[in-house]
Structure formats: C-alpha cells, structure tokens
Amino acid sequence: MRTVIFTAQNRLSILHSGREYFPALIEAINAARIEIYFETYIFSLDEIGTAVRDALKRASSRGVAVHVTTDWLGTGHILGKILEDSLKVDGVECRTFNPWFVRGIARTHRKLCIVDGDVAFVGGINIISDFRNDYKDNRVLPAPRWDFAVRVQGPLVAHIHHEMQTEWERINPLHLISRIILRRETRSIQDRVVGKPGLAGFVVRDNLHNRRTIQRSYQRALGVARKSVFIANPYFAPARKFRQALAHAVDRGVEVTILLGVGEFWMQDAVAQSFYPRMLRKGVKLYEYRKTQLHAKVAVIDDIWATIGSSNVDGISLFINHEANVVARDAAFARDLRAHIEAAIAESVEIRLEDFANRPWYKRLWYGFAFIVYRCLLRVVTLGDYT
C-alpha cells in the first residue's frame, strides 16, 4: 500500500457548493486546449448537467481529447446511455464503471476533473443541481446542498493526472500482462515531501494497492491531534480502528466535534445513531445538520491538517468503493475550511446524551439492530476487512 504523496507549492482553492464549483469547472473546460479527464458518480441531465455536458462537447469539437467516466449505478443505466450517445456525437470518449456489477459490488464514487494537466478539481460534488436531492426522485431541497470541492494548481496536479489516466485504462478489460505493467507503473511514483507552503497530497482508495490509504491518512492525523478535530460527513459508520482513533484523541484532551447529515437514508441514519451513546459518553460533540442535504466529506484537525474529497466515513467508502481525497497540511486552507464547518454547526442541532436517552426504547433498539446488520453485511462483502 502506498502512503500519501505530498508535494509543496500547490495553490488550493475551496469551492463551497455547486454555486462556486460549477462555474469554475465550466470555465476550466471552456479554456481547455489539449485534454480533459472527467470522472463522476452521478451525472444528471438537469440544467447543471446539461451545461457541463455541453461544455465537454464544445471542448471535444475544438480538438480537445475528452475522456468521461461515469458510474453505472450512480448515473443509472438508461441516463448513462443517453449521456454517452450525446457526448459521442461530438467525439467525446466515454467509459462506464462496472456495468451490471461484472467486477463485483465496488463503485467509482470519485468526483474528479483535470484539464490540460494544469488544473484539477477534487471533491464530493456530483453533477446535479444544488437544489435537487441526489436519490429521492430529484426532489427539490429546501436550501442548496452543503458540499465542497477543491481546485488544485501546482505539482500535485501531476499525481492526480497520473491516477486518472491509470483509472481510465483499468476500466476496460486488460490482459494479465497489461495489468502487471500498469501496476508497476503506478507503484513507480515515489513519495516525496518538498518544502512547506501549499503542502498537499492526493489519496485514493481502490481494491488493488490502496485498500486502506484514506482510512490510514485519517488515523495518522487523529493519532497526532493535540487540540481539535472537526469532521463533517453524511454517512457515518466508522469501523473499530477509526472509532478507536477518535476515542484516543478524546482521551488526550482533544476536542472532537462531528457534524452529520440526516434524513436521506433511514437505514444509514439508524446505523449512525447507534454510535451516539458511546461517542457522547466519551465526550464527543455531535451535531445534526437538518437545514438541507449535507453531502460534504471534509475534516480539519488542529487547524493544520484538512481533507476534502468523495470518501464518507463508513464501510462502503473506506473498504469497498473507489474514492479520492485531497489532504492538505496548510494552515490557511485548514482555517478556511474550519470556518465553513463552524458556520454549518451554528445552523445545526446539538445532540446531547440526555436527549438521546429520552428517545423511545424501541427506537434505540432499532439503532442497535441496524448496526449489527450493517456490520455483518460489511464483514461478509469485505471478507472480514471491515475492522
């Protein structure tokens, strides 16, 4: 397993929600001269998706080599075919990740774009309007979805570019010799840390040699935390080692605050709530964001370490799906992201131990049952790796 590759002198810009992300993305696509690699889990054809699709089509018509990858489950079989047919008319190359689950249950949950090897976008934002729910029949949200991406310029872009090229090649069937060569080429990138300003790394999770890279990057940061931990995530179901890292941080006197999204999947809510009593008794501060859909996967530790990406803190993201995060060791970037998290916490509902204890006994029983089912399923599909 490769550790995080850190480079310095990167310029990192936080993009809060689609309101900031989509204009920046389309501007970069419109300026493309050579090539574009684009990956997403959901590619809706609403007003936002149509605008992004048309920008990709225009780029291809200008002679730019455009490569688009969508997930067969996330985008949907029918919608994905419509999108692919439309893009191919203008010469865009399209690939679908794991159609009909022919390569197991893993999905590509990554949201990435790289343009001309100069600028990259990494985050949790799908190609869908901020006002439309990802899953519930595109139901209109009461407020814009709370989510983030990061625009990257600098040396780190080369690593993101290499990873996206590698994933593009992996998606199509390869002969055994080709897979061995590809694996060696991927391993050939050496870890390096250069200087201090703009220090950032690109971490991915897959089912080859990066099986636990994202979880371990979290655990290392939690292991050296001294003051504060802020985590915001919509799907919270950490395995034992992640929970232990949080508990050890609290034992050292670190203030741990977790902001959770609720109301999207009833089963996921129940699993997350099964952790509430233990975390609250430990001293973890818990908040539920109920204003709108919280979809961000972000964290800040000690105002120096921060991450933005596609990976949830649950078994599906950390042990099954393909994911991608940017991890930064940059104080200005961390403070900026923390300010966003704290603003959301101010609009959230704090969960206290006494409030949880007053919930009906059958609800608390249901939370425990949901966790047992979830844990058993994850241990089966990960062959016992969910620890």
**Which positions are annotated as active-site residues?**
109, 111, 116, 295, 297, 302
SS3 205: strand
Residue 327 CA to residue 216 CA, distance in Å, equals 12
CA distances from 93 to 69, 86, 272, 345, 357 (A): 9, 11, 39, 42, 55
Dist. CA 309–CA 139, nearest whole Å: 24
Which tokens belong to 109?
């949950």
In this structure, the number of other CB atoms found within 10 A of the CB of residue 13 comes to: 15
Burial pattern 358-387, b for ≥16 Cβ within 10 A else e, equals eeeeeebeebeebbeebbeebbebbeebbe
Residues β-bridged to residue 320: none
The label of the residue with tokens 């129940």 reads 270
The 10 Å CB-count burial string (b at 16+, else e) for 30-62 is: eebeebbbbbbbbbbbeebbeebbebbbbbbee
User: How many angstroms separate the CA atoms of 56 and 68, rounded?
Assistant: 9
Strand segments (E) across 255-357: 255-261, 285-289, 298-301, 305-309, 313-314, 323-329, 349-351
- The count of other CB atoms within 10 Å of the CB of residue 246 is 24
Please list, in sequence order, all residues whose beta carbon lies within 8 angstroms of the beta carbon of residue 91, skipping any fewer than 6 positions away: 60, 61, 66
Given a contact cutoff of 8 angstroms between Cβ atoms, the answer to whether 149 and 337 are in contact is no
Strand duo 35-40 + 65-71: pairing: parallel
Find tokens 């501007």 and name the residue.
27
Q: Report DSSP state, residue 77.
A: H
Q: How far apart are CA 171 and CA 305, in angstroms?
A: 32
